[in-house]
Chain A
Amino acid sequence: MGHNSTFPTFLQNLILPLRQKTVKLLVIEDEAGLRESIEGYFAEDGNICETAFDFSSAMHKVSLYRYDCIILDITLPDGSGLDILRHLKEQEHNEGILIVSAKNSLDDRLTGLDLGADDYLTKPFHLSELKARVAAIVRRKSFDGNRRLRHHEIDIDLASKEVKVEGVNIKLTPKEYSLLLYLIANKGKVISKNAIAEHLWGDSIDLADNFDFLYSHIKNLRKKMVEAGGKDYIQAAYGMGYKFAD
């Protein structure tokens, strides 16, 4: 995304660990059930997660405070989320913005992205997918030139898509790479197989047995990381999903 940080690179590197730890989020969502789930899912990691349930309270919050990322529902009871987006862009605020909408309408998607939203997610979505998308946006926003993602001994160069474990380059297939990023973004969480499968293959193909393929990707990824001398982070969770240990 076309955002240029005003910070010099060495300063960025200094604040990088800090920024990675706490992310300040605003969830603008009128559906209480969904809002609470999102809040709960994000807050567990020590992120600061604020919420707004309608247009006016959302406008109030975005005019007063700054966030790393705003999760924005387009259809609000007293206004359009797109207007909040317009307002933010007019004020030249640099929040990462992820639009969530029940309308899988291309027009909304295009309008949203044209207005400067960073991503668009259609309801219903898995919280793990939301988290991965938010993480990607926050990463993009916070360190532009130096796009590296670290998780203990795992070092990922996001630009060249190179993964090093204990300094050893490991070769991952595109699906394994995408899987690894997804797992790291949701570290410490149980992610259902459905969520991972949907992330890897999209929802247009509904293969009954794609869990087998998911299993083989997980197996290969584990093997490659362990062989390179890394810890075995990926755990099977109760037979219904996986968990990436923190």
Chain B
Amino acid sequence: MKLLDRYNRSTILLTVTVMLFAAVVYYFAIKLVLSRQIDKSLEVEEREVLDFVRINGKLPQVFNANHQATAFALTQVPITRRMIDTTYMDVKDNEFEPARAIYTSVMVGPQRYQVTVVQSMVETQDLIKVIFLITLGLIVVLLTALFIFNRIILANIWKPFYIILNQLRSFTLSNGGPIRPINSSIDEFSEMNEAVITMAARAQKDYQALKAFTENAAHELMTPISVVNSKLDSFVQTGAFTNEQSLLLSDMYNSVAKLTRLNRSMLLLAKIENRLITDKQTINLDTLISDTLNQYDDVISGLNIEVKTNLDPKKLDASLLLMEVLISNLIGNAIRHNTEGGRISIELNQHHARFANSGKEKTPLEVQNLFGRFKKSASSDGTGLGLTISKEICDHYGFQLSYQYVNDLHEFVMTFPPAG
């Protein structure tokens, strides 16, 4: 729920409650005041009657006016004076109206008369109705005004918040600029903005330091690795080895080779992430793919893999090195994880490149971990960085790299951004 809605809901609920309560209080207060006034006018009428009887010794002439009626009736029993709610038959309108009546008695000579004065409350009711309607109208107007006002004011007040939020949302450690300061006279937002700017700058700085460290570490490692490598090459020239020794040497060679690959991959990854590879040239992706396939043709035919290609000419502006790495990774993957007598199908058109291969795994791979670092299948002898690098390269050029498992084939689809 948006803060605005939440706020609106609270204020509206509060306003409605208060207004309704006020309306009820208002209604009863007005009703009380008005019925008291009626009672008073009934008493005035009563006194007039009593005064008339006392002075003149007879009943006054009865006349009905102004929704008021007076009636006299002979009675034997004494009547206690009381006021009651009753109805009043309006002769003109010919309808019953709510009314207030006073019952009292008067002695005209020896005779006891019951005096009834009825006062219609229709005017009071009308008044209350009007007041009630006005109150209701007021509530509606107030609510609408509040609603619109809140919307406009809050949306304006919260604007800096959304600016910051959007910046945070698009913020990336690797290649984003700093968070831009906002112009807000509201302290809370200014403070938040400041805090966010500081935090983002610190995170970026730490990340840069970490990346620089990774790159430097990988770079520094290259020298000792190359010494070990060359010493191994020199060592194997030194004479006859026993089987055991040559096995040890083979293992060393393999491990150094793996270390080299790993280190090269890490360096490359650091370079891509640091955007250090900026060269661009027009690359014919179709030729690159078929060249890469040719490079591995002996491996492919050795494993009896059936390769189907459907390559449309496709030109790209990119770094040749990165594109070679990308294509070679994807094709290498398709070969490495394939089975003997398996299939590889490569399709290239203007919109996407699809690399599909049969594999030892007969179930879809876990997509979540697929592009993560050092994630690899148990059987894989790779560095675990191949797909990470591929993904980074794709991100670098705005391609989408996705994976799916269709018809028993593992598919990596590289979608190019729309031209333009």
Q: Chain A: residues with CB nearer than 8 A to chain B?
A: 31, 33-34, 37-38, 40-41, 44, 102-107, 110, 122-128, 173, 175, 189-190, 192-195, 198, 201-208, 210, 212-213, 216-217, 237-241
Contacts and interface: CB of A to CB of B under 8 A. Distances in A.
Contact of A192 (B253, B277, B328): B253
- Interface of chain B: mostly helix, strand, loop or mixed: helix
A37 B227 contact: yes
B302 A212 contact: yes
A210 B277 contact: no
B302 A213 contact: yes
Interface stretch (B107-115, B177-185, B218-226): B218-226
Most-contacted residue by chain B among A107, A205, A207 (CB, 10 A): A205
Given A41-B234, A206-B258, A207-B336, A126 B299 contact: no
Interface in B53-111: none
A106 B302 contact: no
Contacts of A128: 233
Contacts of A103: 219
Given A104-B268, A206-B382, A189 B243 contact: no
B257 A194 contact: yes
Most-contacted residue by chain B among A40, A195, A204 (CB, 10 A): A204
A213 B325 contact: no
A156 to B, nearest CB: 21
Contact of B261 (A206, A210, A216): A206
Contacts of A126: 229-230, 233
B264 A127 contact: no
Nearest to B250: A240
A124 B257 CA distance: 9
B298 interface: yes
Most-contacted residue by chain B among A193, A201, A206 (CB, 10 A): A206
Given A106-B277, A110-B279, A240-B236, A37 B254 contact: no
A38 B230 contact: yes
Those 7 A-B pairs whose CB atoms lie nearest each other, nearest first: A124-B226, A238-B246, A37-B230, A33-B227, A208-B381, A205-B332, A127-B233
Contacts of B396: none
Contacts of B125: none
B271 A105 contact: yes
A102 B226 contact: yes
A37 B236 contact: no
Given A201-B295, A205-B335, 12 more contacts: A104-B267, A192-B233, A192-B249, A203-B257, A204-B329, A204-B332, A206-B382, A206-B383, A207-B381, A217-B298, A238-B241, A241-B236
Contacts of A206: 257-258, 261, 332, 336, 381-383
A26 to B, nearest CB: 17
A204 B227 contact: no
Given A192-B236, A213-B302, A106 B319 contact: yes
A63 to B, nearest CB: 28
Nearest to A174: B294
B232 interface: yes
A208 B243 CA distance: 21
Contacts of A123: 222-223, 225-226
A140 B162 CA distance: 66
A217 B301 CA distance: 13
B164 to A, nearest CB: 38
B231 interface: yes
A31 B335 CA distance: 38
Contacts of A33: 227, 230-231
A31 B299 contact: no
Contacts of A124: 222, 225-226, 228-230, 256, 260
A208 B255 CA distance: 12
Contacts of A107: 279
B260 A203 contact: yes
B271 to A, nearest CB: 7
A8 to B, nearest CB: 39
A208 B296 CA distance: 14
A125 B226 contact: yes
Contact of A41 (B233, B319, B335): B233
A204 B336 CA distance: 12
Contacts of B324: 204
Most-contacted residue by chain A among B219, B243, B335 (CB, 10 A): B219
A239 B261 contact: no
A167 to B, nearest CB: 28
Contact of A239 (B233, B237, B247): B247
Most-contacted residue by chain A among B231, B234, B253 (CB, 10 A): B234
B419 interface: no
Contacts of A104: 264, 267-268
B250 A31 contact: no
